[in-house]
């Protein structure tokens, strides 16, 4: 079987590595040049894109910002999974909000802004503490602005004055006093079979995910069931095939959907060693029409992103249960260079191993590590 992935980054690479044992050949498309490449070496396979699409059993994406002309071409083959509408929802916050509202899925109170003058109404309706998000091309904290005091509104308007809000509207949300950020990774196949992983707790710094812990601590059956039900409603409503990540805010015993990612997701990397079946294998199983794999957690796990640096000791592999995943990229500020998975038998042990991990890392690039290790140790 063969799967062609739009995008040639680390997620395509990890799909390739997950597909090999199943006999699934994964090819990647560099969407900047329409070139078919090897997902690991990134070398050209000298195959015309049209031929690759024709020979593939399934087409999928590793990120949602694939040029629409390529998505439309893929959709015409009827092999694209998830479907084009689902991918476009992930690429546009306005579409995302409309989808959530149409399905009565709880999310952050918000307004859509196409003219700066509408910001005054946002303050009147939503209050003085707002987060403004560009509806397209924003990620890892980029394309976001905050308002915490109405006296700063004129300065904020000035900062936004160069934007074409009719072309790219803003989604203005009321800041939620949430208890923590969680995410649910789930998978659905074309037969309607659904499996979801345990909730993960995510720690961010400057808008970027730094550490995920799964299963998240202090999650009862009711909260996990609530997240599962949200996933089922969304996946069935979108006729979704593949892995879908649902990012959530926990407010008391309620969950609000923050964002959707129609693909394998950073907060699901823990599944590579911490679950019976990884998110990457399950995504391939889903799009290839194979039975879905067991999503049970093996034990408490953590995923630690390596961001903007490559100066760490690989002696970290001396920590039992640790696994390094390196992406082979050139170093750039705020760039995800790789990640480390650590899987254990208990949360205190996970805290101990994260503390041990800190001895091999330049901690200025890992601002959440000690904090989370200390919390888990108890």
What pLDDT, on the 0 to 100 scale, is given for residue 378?
85
Question: Which H, E and C letters describe 263-323, residue by residue?
Answer: CCCHHHCCHHHHECCCHHHHHHHHHCCCCCCCCCECCCEEEEEEECCCCCCHHHHHCCCEE
Residues 24 and 1 sit within 8 Å (Cβ to Cβ) = yes
What pLDDT, on the 0 to 100 scale, is given for residue 351?
98
Assign residue 337 a region (left: φ > 0; alpha: ψ between -120 and 50; beta: otherwise): alpha
Domains and CATH numbers, the chain: 2-80 (3.40.50.20), 109-174 (3.30.1490.20), 180-377 (3.30.470.20)
- Compute φ and ψ for 63, nearest 5 degrees: -155, 160
What pLDDT, on the 0 to 100 scale, is given for residue 140?
56
pTM exceeds 0.85 for this model: yes
pLDDT by residue for the chain (378 residues), tens only, comes to 999 999 999 999 999 999 999 999 999 999 999 999 999 999 999 999 999 999 999 999 999 999 999 999 999 999 999 999 999 999 999 999 999 999 999 999 999 999 999 999 999 999 999 999 999 876 655 789 999 998 999 999 999 999 999 999 999 999 999 999 999 999 999 999 999 999 999 999 998 999 999 999 999 999 999 999 999 999 999 999 999 999 999 999 999 999 999 999 999 999 999 999 999 999 999 999 999 999 999 999 999 999 999 999 999 999 999 999 999 999 999 999 999 999 999 999 999 999 999 999 999 999 999 999 999 998
What pLDDT, on the 0 to 100 scale, is given for residue 139?
61
pLDDT in tens, 64-74: 999 999 999 99
- Compute φ and ψ for 99, nearest 5 degrees: -65, -50
Distance CA 130, CA 149 (A): 9
The count of other CB atoms within 10 Å of the CB of residue 358 is 15
């Amino acid at each position: 079987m063969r799967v062609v992935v739009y995008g040639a980054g680390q997620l395509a690479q990890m799909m390739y590595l997950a597909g090999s044992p199943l006999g699934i050949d994964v090819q990647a498309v560099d969407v900047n040049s329409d070139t078919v490449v090897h997902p690991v070496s990134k070398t050209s396979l000298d195959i015309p894109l049209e031929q690759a699409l024709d020979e593939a059993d399934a087409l999928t994406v590793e990120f949602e910002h694939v040029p629409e002309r390529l998505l439309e071409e893929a959709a015409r083959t009827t092999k694209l999974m998830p479907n084009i509408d689902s991918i476009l929802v992930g690429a546009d916050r306005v579409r995302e909000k409309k989808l959530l509202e149409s399905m009565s899925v709880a999310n952050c109170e918000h307004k859509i802004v196409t003219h700066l003058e509408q910001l005054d109404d946002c303050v009147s309706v939503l209050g003085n503490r707002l987060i403004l998000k560009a509806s397209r091309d924003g990620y890892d904290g980029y394309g976001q602005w905050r308002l915490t005091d109405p006296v700063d509104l004129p300065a904020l308007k000035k900062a936004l004055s160069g934007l074409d809000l009719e072309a790219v509207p803003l989604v203005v949300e009321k800041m939620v006093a949430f208890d923590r950020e969680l995410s649910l990774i789930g998978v659905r196949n074309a037969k309607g079979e659904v499996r979801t992983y345990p909730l993960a707790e995510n720690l961010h710094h400057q808008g970027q995910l730094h550490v995920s812990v799964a299963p998240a601590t202090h999650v009862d059956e009711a909260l996990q069931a609530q997240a599962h039900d949200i996933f089922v409603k969304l996946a069935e409503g979108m006729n979704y095939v593949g892995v879908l990540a649902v990012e959530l805010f926990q407010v008391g015993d309620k969950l609000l959907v923050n964002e959707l990612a129609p693909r394998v997701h950073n907060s699901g990397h823990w599944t590579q060693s911490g679950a019976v079946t990884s998110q990457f294998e399950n995504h391939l199983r889903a799009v290839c029409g194979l039975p879905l794999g067991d999503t049970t957690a093996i034990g408490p796990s953590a995923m630690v992103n390596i961001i903007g640096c490559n100066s760490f000791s690989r002696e970290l592999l001396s920590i039992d249960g640790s696994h390094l995943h390196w992406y082979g990229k050139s170093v750039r500020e705020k760039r995800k260079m790789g990640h480390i998975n650590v899987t254990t038998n208990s949360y205190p042990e996970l805290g101990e191993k994260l503390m041990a991990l800190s001895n091999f890392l330049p901690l200025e690039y890992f601002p959440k590590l000690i904090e989370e290790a200390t919390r888990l140790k108890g």
